[in-house]
């Protein structure tokens, strides 16, 4: 669906913020060049690529034309995204029109996580073994049946499928990022609660697993956790010397460098995607990666002995996967509990907002009811006139005043009757 501009023309549809950055770098365009071509500042282009804002009107058309992909190299929709989009009823026609690739599709970025790679490989091997003894017609019929089942997935079922596929691996990644098992589990559950709260937005995202991963990383790396006593200090390191050295090396890295190293060498993202997720430029992400590798190599002799950067990346990939699999991280809650927690939290905040508005209305009404309806000028302070002190109201009587008052009450004064009334 396209938006309408002020002059009635249809505005072009833009890709996701990560895809905008990837398309710009694929055409070897810098942020300054795009800003000069569209007529905006570099900060505006960066906000477009991070998703904070979106171009409109004529700038939107120029920006879309500038980063448009080449027509001869169309990009296929990732399988993970198609499955989730079909679950909420979006993209069914596009998924049906795409021809099935002859070669096995590439795994999504989340499938390259060293923690969950073995489980997915075993599941894929079992699926291939079951399909060997069947004919071509049977396999095609099963594909049609699976497509029909995917189209019938409800939003809750699609969310549960994404949760079951990515939650265990994300907990282990968050543990490598923070060194705290309880915080890792809490971060992943909070990220999925936020994803369920914004499920219409997450379901149509190009990488739903990446969306949840970014949210979990942001919550896990929040500096406010230092104020919580339970998460003030990291958990005990592993007992094995090699894993303990890697664990200490990760925790001694700055959070931004640790996240870059985990995304690139642990998860397996490429450099532009790592830079986009960490909200940094590609050269800055490359610098962080090299600095983090050098700091880890000081504690790991085998990493320092590796020659090329590709060998270092492969070695770190294996070592990070081994460290994550060796540690017993807590299992996340069931998907139903996460969805229920998200709904309960949204319901609680809604009731709190309604109660706050009602309290504000009540206080406002009470103020209007008790407030004066007209202006009352203040009373001027008393002044001394002719040496006579001002009358300031009843004051405490002195001893002389009390004596005079007593004599007046006890003794009858002599004088006219008008001064001393008498009963008749």
Per DSSP, the residues of 54-88 read: ---HHHHHHHHHHSPPPTTSPPPPPHHHHHHHHHT
Is 66 within 8 Å of 25 (Cβ atoms)? no
- Confidence class for position 111, pLDDT limits 50, 70, 90: very low
Q: Which residues pair with 10 in a beta bridge?
A: 4
| Alpha carbons within 13 A on the beta-carbon side of 379 | 4
The answer as to CATH 1.10.260 being correct for domain 3-66 is yes
What pLDDT is recorded for position 108? 39
Confidence of residue 2 (pLDDT cuts 50, 70, 90): very low
Residues 6+ apart with CB under 8 A from 221: 177, 178, 255, 259
Q: What is the DSSP letter of 110?
A: G
- 88 falls in which pLDDT band (50, 70, 90)? very low
Question: Would the pLDDT of 253 be above 80?
Answer: yes
Under 8 Å between Cβ of 159 and 334: no
What distance in Å separates the CA atoms of residue 336 and residue 364, rounded to the nearest whole number? 42
Please enumerate in sequence order all residues whose Cβ is within 8 A of that of 237, keeping only pairs 6 or more positions apart, or say none: 179, 243, 244, 247, 248
Closest CA to 51 of 210, 256, 262, 258: 210
What is the b/e burial string over 187-216, where b = at least 16 CB atoms within 10 angstroms of the residue's CB? bbbbbbbbbbeebeebbebbbbbbbbbbbb
The predicted structure's pLDDT at residue 8: 43
Beta bridge partner(s), residue 385 = 388
pLDDT of residue 324: 84
The full DSSP string for 37-56 is: HHTS-HHHHHHHHHTS----
How high is the mean pLDDT of the chain?
76
Integer angstrom CA distances of residue 404 from 159, 349, 412, 418, 419: 94, 72, 13, 21, 17
CA-closest candidate to residue 143, choices 100, 93, 102: 100
pLDDT at 383 over 50: yes
The answer to whether the predicted template modeling score (pTM) of the entire model surpasses 0.85 is no
DSSP H helical segments within 262-334, as ranges?
271-277, 282-297, 301-305, 309-326
Answer whether 131's CB lies under 8 Å from 187's CB: no
What lies within 8 Å, CB to CB, of 49 at 6+ separation is 17, 18, 20, 21, 24, 276
Between 42-46, 135-139, 226-230, 339-343, the lowest mean confidence (pLDDT) is in: 135-139
**Axis crossing angle, helix 79-87 with helix 208-220, rounded to the nearest 10:** 90
Residues 208 and 81: beta-carbon distance below 8 Å: yes
Residues 157-179: b if buried by 16+ CB within 10 A, e if exposed: ebbbbbbebbbbbbbbbbbbbbb
Angle at alpha carbon of residue 271, lines to 213 and 202, rounded to 5°:
30
For residue 173, pLDDT beyond 60: yes
Least confident of 22-26, 89-93, 151-155, 347-351: 89-93
- Structure-token pair, residue 321: 């996967």
**How many CB atoms neighbour CB 59 within 10 A?**
15
Query: pLDDT tens for residues 200-223?
Result: 999 888 889 999 999 999 999 998
Q: Where are the domains of the chain?
A: 3-66
Question: What angle (nearest 5°) sits at the alpha carbon of residue 240, between those of residues 239 and 241?
Answer: 110
Average pLDDT over residues 299-304: 82
Give the contacts of 202 (CB within 8 A, at least 6 positions apart): 84, 195, 208, 211, 212
Q: Which of 126-130, 225-229, 235-239, 395-399 has the lowest mean pLDDT?
A: 126-130
Separation between Cα atoms, residue 103 and residue 123, nearest integer Å: 18
């Amino acid at each position: 669906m396209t938006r309408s501009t002020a002059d009635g023309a249809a505005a072009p549809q833009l890709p996701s913020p990560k895809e905008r950055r990837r398309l710009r770098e694929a055409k070897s365009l810098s942020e300054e060049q795009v800003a000069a071509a569209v007529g905006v500042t570099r900060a505006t282009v960066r906000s477009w690529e991070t998703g904070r804002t979106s171009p409109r009107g004529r700038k939107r058309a120029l920006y879309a034309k500038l980063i448009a992909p080449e027509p001869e190299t169309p990009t296929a929709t990732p399988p993970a995204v198609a499955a989730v989009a079909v679950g909420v009823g979006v993209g069914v026609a596009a998924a049906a029109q795409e021809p099935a690739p002859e070669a096995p599709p590439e795994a999504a970025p989340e499938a390259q996580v060293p923690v969950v790679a073995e489980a997915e490989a075993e599941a894929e091997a079992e699926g291939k073994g079951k399909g060997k003894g069947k004919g071509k017609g049977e396999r095609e019929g099963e594909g049609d049946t699976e497509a029909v089942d995917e189209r019938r997935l409800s939003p809750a079922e699609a969310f549960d499928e994404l949760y079951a596929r990515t939650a265990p691996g994300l907990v282990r990644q968050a543990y490598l990022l923070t060194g705290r098992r309880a915080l890792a589990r809490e971060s992943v559950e909070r990220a999925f609660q936020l994803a369920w709260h914004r499920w219409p937005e997450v379901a149509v995202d190009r990488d739903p697993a990446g969306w949840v991963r970014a949210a979990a990383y942001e919550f896990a790396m929040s500096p406010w956790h230092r104020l919580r006593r339970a998460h003030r200090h990291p958990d005990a390191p592993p007992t094995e010397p090699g894993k303990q050295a890697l664990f200490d090396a990760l925790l001694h890295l700055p959070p931004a460098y640790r996240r870059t190293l985990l995304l690139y060498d642990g998860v397996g993202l490429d450099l532009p995607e790592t830079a986009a997720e960490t909200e940094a430029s590609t050269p800055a992400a490359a610098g962080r990666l090299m600095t983090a590798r050098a700091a880890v190599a000081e504690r790991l002799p085998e990493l320092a002995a590796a020659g090329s950067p590709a060998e270092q990346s492969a070695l770190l990939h294996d070592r990070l996967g081994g460290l994550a699999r060796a540690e017993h991280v807590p299992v996340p809650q069931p998907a139903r509990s996460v969805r229920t927690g998200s709904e309960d939290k949204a319901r609680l905040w809604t009731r709190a907002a309604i109660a706050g508005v009602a309290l504000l209305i009540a206080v406002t009404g009470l103020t209007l009811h008790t407030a004066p309806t007209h202006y009352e000028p203040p009373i001027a302070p008393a002044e001394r006139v002719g040496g006579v002190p001002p009358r300031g109201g009843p004051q405490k009587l002195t001893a002389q005043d009390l004596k005079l008052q007593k004599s007046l009450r006890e003794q009858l004064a002599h004088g006219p009757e008008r001064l001393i009334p008498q009963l008749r």
